[in-house]
Chains A and B, each alone.
Chain A
Amino acid sequence: MKDTGRYKIKQISIFSENKPGRLAAIARALQEEQVNILAFSIAEADGFGVVRALVDKPEKAHQKLTDLGFNVAFTDVLAVRMRDIPGGLYEIAKILGDGGINIEYSYAYSGKEAAVLILRVDSIETAVPLLLQGGGELLESKVFH
């Protein structure tokens, strides 16, 4: 179980109304705090959205955004390195699918060394050993923060 903790990455999630200028307000706040955004996505529903981001200084980002009145939450996610070739995503998704792990949401970025898949799963405790046993390469949280 100790192992699992190493791979839990603190994502910040920000509630945002679906209207012009909200993302700019969030991004500006992070800039002011010299917080670097490593990956992010926006999930949109009817009239509102949730901005999710992996940042280098999550505590600082949380504090700043909260001070500005945003509704912010931490969520634990996993980051898995994918081979940046056709079938790279399949390899990871198959491990989770075969193991009965549900992916609640996911987003990805393609960096200098590799492509990285960010995953929010229903059970991190089950997903981590499955991915490791399946040959997946999980990034530790210290890589980000």
Chain B
Amino acid sequence: MRYFDPRIEEMPPEDIRKLQYRLLKTLVYRLYSFSPFYHDRMRETGVHPDDIQSLEDIRKLPYMYKSDLRDNYPDKIFVATQDDLVRYHVSSGTTGKPTVVGYTRNDLENWTVSLARGLVSCGIGRGDVLQVSYGYGLFTGGLGLHYGAERVGATVLPTSVGNTERQIELMQDLHTTAIACTPSYLLHMGEVAEKMGVSIRDDTDLRTGILGAEPWSDAMKARMEEWLGIRAYDIYGTSELSGPMFCECTAQNGFHVWGDLAYIEIQDPKTGDPLGAGEKGEMVVTMLQKEALPMIRFRIGDISSVDDTVCSCGRTHPRVMRISGRVDDMLIIRGINVFPCQTEYPLNTIPEVGQHFMIEVDRKGALDDMLVKVEVTKEAFSDRITDLMAIRKKVEHRLRNALNVAVDVELVEPGSLPRFEGKAKRVIDRRKL
């Protein structure tokens, strides 16, 4: 199968833009009428749905931020009623409250179709065994890839994350041809396999990696392709967009953003001025068909550029290049988004440690390692090592619950962590990708 849906995937660019304009118009009218949240925001901005007279007029519309989801926890900005929701996913929030996303049946369908097109575009289909080694559950990765792969007729092996040795055995026994996971997890798998005496390149049928949910570089991609004997494709998404959503095609030159589902603007992160094709800037994403939780001009925080020329694979939809950075200080630890400020809230609930902290991130072997240094307060200092160990355990436990990622904690002397007057720099990221 060359295309999943050639009618859409080969649509002439000018037709895509016409379709996008129609969808945008409908979206704005719908939100103005049914979303009190976005209605108010449009009123504050002084824009009415009638002001949208072209696709470019999207720039008149107010932005949405990650904080909007947090401030309206859990579902206050949903436009669908609970009767129409068929699924929730939940990701960690920034202030102790998680972010909840909801899906109507159409939302799940569009998500699945988006991935189905992407999987076909990188050569996955009937006859493939796709091992989904993204987490299943509240995280969107596992279930998203699962349904996308089933839709294209691949056989899904839903291993989720962890238990790596068993994953490698299954990869051999069930003849996995493709795997979806974070790039660092695939590197880790490669190392574990070698310890087991298995070469992924020579002893397995794996030939495709669909890798994302964390930053990686071209160098890392080249290394993995050579070492593991695979083609590595970038996949992109966040829970606000539905989940993993857009995937690279066999041309391996950016992921196609399906124009009937999403519209991407690239802007100057400081001024908000639009940037042209090929220019690197802040991505602003509008999901054109989402029902339960519409995302319009969402400032997702990633930095990249767009190539809107027709791809050598024949697809006409714009390609976004590999994400090259963030406009904020968000970290991605083993595929999980972590904002340094997320550690503040749990630390404030633990009187035994002060409010100051430093985060140090390393890559040990293939996997990310996050260390949080905190100061033991005078009041909490005990002569007993066991008491101090208990404090450390408690901090590790609270941070793990808040961040959804395992963290090592180091207790340090009071006053030894840097104090900041201006903008705090609480992160040392030593990973070389």
Instruction: Bin the interface of chain A by size.
Output: 10 to 19
Query: Does B381 sit at the interface, judged by CB under 8 A?
Result: yes
Contacts of B410 in A (CB 8 A): 47-48
Is A45 touching B413 in the complex (CB atoms < 8 A)?
Answer: no
A38: interface (CB < 8 Å): no
Taking A15-B376, A71-B378 as contacts, is the C-beta distance between A48 and B383 under 8 angstroms?
Answer: no
> Contact mask A26-60 → B, CB, 8 Å, 1/0?
00000000000000000101011010100000000
A69 in contact with B414 (CB, 8 Å): yes
Q: A17 to B416, alpha carbons, bound, how many Å?
A: 10
Interface residues of chain A: helix, strand, loop or mixed (majority): strand
Q: Is B310 an interface residue (CB 8 A)?
A: no
User: Quick one: given A15-B376, A69-B413, are A43 and B382 in contact (CB under 8 Å)?
Assistant: no
Decide: A104 and B414 in contact? CB cutoff 8 A: no
* Bound CA–CA A45/B385 (angstroms): 7
Task: Report if A69-B383 is in contact (Cβ < 8 Å); known contacts: A47-B410, A50-B388.
Answer: no
State which size class the interface on B falls in: 10 to 19
- Mask: chain B, 374-399; 1 = CB below 8 Å from A; 0 = not: 00111001111100110000000000
Asked if residues A15 and B413 are in contact (CB atoms below 8 Å), the reply is yes
**B409 to A, closest residue via Cβ:** A47
For A50, list chain B residues within 8 Å (CB): 383, 385, 388
**Contact between chains at A48 and B415 (CB < 8 Å):** no
Task: Assess whether A75 is interfacial by the CB under 8 Å rule.
Answer: yes
Instruction: Tell me if A73 and B412 are in contact (CB < 8 A).
Output: no
**Is A120 located at the chain interface by the 8 A CB criterion?**
yes
Question: 1/0 per position for A10-32, CB-CB distance to B under 8 A?
Answer: 01010111000000000000000
Q: In the complex, are the beta carbons of A73 and B383 less than 8 A apart? A: yes
Is there contact, CB below 8 Å, between A120 and B383?
yes
Q: Which residue of A lies closest to B380 (CB)?
A: A71
Check A48–B381 contact: CB distance below 8 A. Answer: no
Please report the C-alpha to C-alpha distance between residue A33 and residue B372 in the assembled complex, in whole angstroms: 35
A107 CB, nearest partner CB in chain B, Å: 13
Q: Tell me the complex Cα distance, A43–B416, Å.
A: 20
Q: A71 touching B376 by the CB < 8 A rule? A: yes
Nearest CB of A to B331, in Å: 21
Determine the chain B residues whose CB is within 8 A of the CB of A71 once the complex forms: 376-378, 381, 413-414
Q: Which one of B376, B378, B413, B415 has the highest number of Cβ atoms from chain A below 10 Å of its Cβ?
A: B413
| Interfacial chain B residues near A109, Cβ < 8 Å | none
Across-interface contacts of A90 in B (CB, < 8 A): none
Residue of A at shortest CB range from B416? A17
Among B381, B383, B411, B412, residue most surrounded by chain A Cβ atoms (within 10 Å): B383
Contacts of A43 in B (CB 8 A): 385
**Most chain A Cβ neighbours within 10 Å, of B377, B382, B416:** B382
- How long is the Cα–Cα vector from A17 to B375 in the complex, in angstroms? 10
A71–B414 Cα gap in the complex (Å)? Answer: 7
**Chain A residue contacts of B381, Cβ below 8 A:** 13, 15, 71-73
**Complex Cα–Cα for A5 and B413 (A):** 32
B411 partner, pick from A13, A48, A52, beta carbons under 8 A: A48
With A50-B388, A71-B376 already in contact, the answer to whether A13 and B413 are too (CB < 8 A) is no
Least Cβ–Cβ distance between A44 and chain B, in angstroms: 8
Bound complex: CA of A72 vs CA of B381, how far in Å?
8
A96 to B401 Cα, complex, angstroms: 42
Instruction: Name B383's contact: one of A16, A47, A70, A75 (CB within 8 Å).
Output: A75
User: In the assembly, what is the distance between CA of A69 and CA of B354, in Å?
Assistant: 14
Residues on the A chain within 8 Å of B385, using CB: 43, 45, 50
B401-421 interface code vs A (CB 8 A; 1 in, 0 out): 000000000111111100000
**A16→B382 contact, CB < 8 A:** no
Residues of chain B contacted by A70 (CB below 8 angstroms): 413
Contacts of A17 in B (CB 8 A): 412-413, 416
State whether A73 touches B388 (Cβ < 8 A).
Answer: no
A52 with B383: CB separation less than 8 A: yes
Q: A residues within 8 Å of B by Cβ?
A: 11, 13, 15-17, 43, 45, 47-48, 50, 52, 69-73, 75, 104, 120
Given A48-B412, A69-B414, 20 extra CB contacts under 8 A: A11-B383, A13-B383, A15-B376, A15-B411, A15-B413, A17-B413, A45-B388, A47-B411, A48-B388, A48-B411, A50-B383, A50-B385, A52-B383, A69-B413, A71-B377, A72-B381, A73-B381, A73-B382, A75-B383, A104-B384
Sample (25) of A-B pairs whose CB atoms are under 8 Å apart: A15-B376, A15-B388, A15-B411, A15-B413, A16-B413, A17-B412, A17-B416, A43-B385, A45-B385, A47-B411, A48-B410, A48-B412, A50-B383, A50-B385, A69-B413, A69-B415, A71-B377, A71-B378, A71-B381, A71-B414, A72-B381, A73-B381, A73-B382, A75-B383, A104-B384
B interface residues (Cβ-Cβ under 8 A, vs A): 376-378, 381-385, 388-389, 410-416
